[in-house]
Homo-oligomer: A and B are copies of this chain.
């Protein structure tokens, strides 16, 4: 499946979340990652995120799509990561 993850976490935990997600997904921009994951990978990602975040303060939104074809991505402005690495 294809996964988009956007997070809004306390500044104390931002780098931890980013570092963790980098292992599993592609960085798109500040607080936004994407990538192909298996169901097992996703469970691992969710478990890891739950260990890092404070569920009373932080919020992580996970969008699951059947595949990358289910969406079209368009970027306005400057591409902060190289889209070549992503697609």
Contact = CB atoms under 8 A, between A and B. Distances in A.
Contacts of A9: 77
A71 interface: yes
Contacts of A78: 55-59
Interface string A54-87: 1111111111111000111111111110000000
A28 interface: yes
Nearest to A53: B77
A6 interface: yes
Given A30-B31, A31-B30, A31-B31, A62 B73 contact: yes
Interface residues of A, number: 38
Interface string A22-50: 00000011111000000000000010011
Interface of A: 4, 6-9, 28-32, 46, 49-50, 53-66, 70-80
